[in-house]
Amino acid sequence: MINKSSGLSVGVVCLSLAVGALSAPAVPGQEETAPAAKPALAKITRDCYQIMKKHDIEKLLTFYTDDAVFEMDDMTIAGKEQLRDLFEFDAVNQSQVDILDLKIDGMTVVLRTSEINESFRLLGIQADFAKATVTFRDSLIEKVKIESPPESQELFMGKFEPFSTWVSERYPDDFNKLMTGGYSADNAKLLLALLKEWREKS
């Protein structure tokens, strides 16, 4: 399915780093406090954005809980198999997400991000901006919620509508695959191929 946040996969946390950073021995009689975890979560998040840019899918999957949920606008992805499909889509789409701002609230990381990818480039979108709220369970991600500001949604729809009209008229079967087929490497390849043809012929 084509979604405005199709390239986004945000807030990956490295398990190996998290275990070392968050499991330091506690002082007897004292509980670990949220402020002590803040620097670790910030560093882990920033470090893992660099890993995400490399599209190391197998490694990324180990950073999530088995029942992790990924919410993007009006779409929900649940479980590692669907996450794998999303990451494979992003890899083909050459998604690159950068952190613009990062704040920690307990075990939640709130990010402002910018993204560039190949489908945005072909649509004529220079960059996309979003808010990502990443919730942790222990040292793994259990939920990511992506929220796009109204201006980003309007920009995307304005760029996407002419393309979607062109595809639906000329390739109705492919259009149906794009809109109902979900995230996958094959759907990303189909999207990019159609976008390139649309750009050449429009």
Query: Is 79 within the bounds of a domain?
Result: yes
Among residues 1, 4, 12, 84, the alpha carbon closest in space to that of 48 is found at 12
Q: Write down the pTM of the prediction.
A: 0.79
CATH number at residue 117: 3.10.450.50
Task: State the total domains in the chain.
Answer: 1
- Phi first, then psi, for residue 183 (nearest 5°) are -85, 130
Containing domain of residue 107, as a range?
15-201
pLDDT of 65-76, one tens digit each?
999 999 987 889
Which residue bears the tokens 């609230």? 105
Question: Does some domain include residue 9?
Answer: no
Helix (H) or strand (E) holding 180: helix 172-180
Query: Is residue 113 one of the residues assigned to a domain?
Result: yes
Residue 1 lies in a domain: no
Q: How confident is the model at residue 3 (pLDDT cuts 50, 70, 90)?
A: low
pLDDT, one tens digit per residue, over 8-31 is: 333 333 323 333 333 334 444 333
Does 32 score more than 50 pLDDT?
no
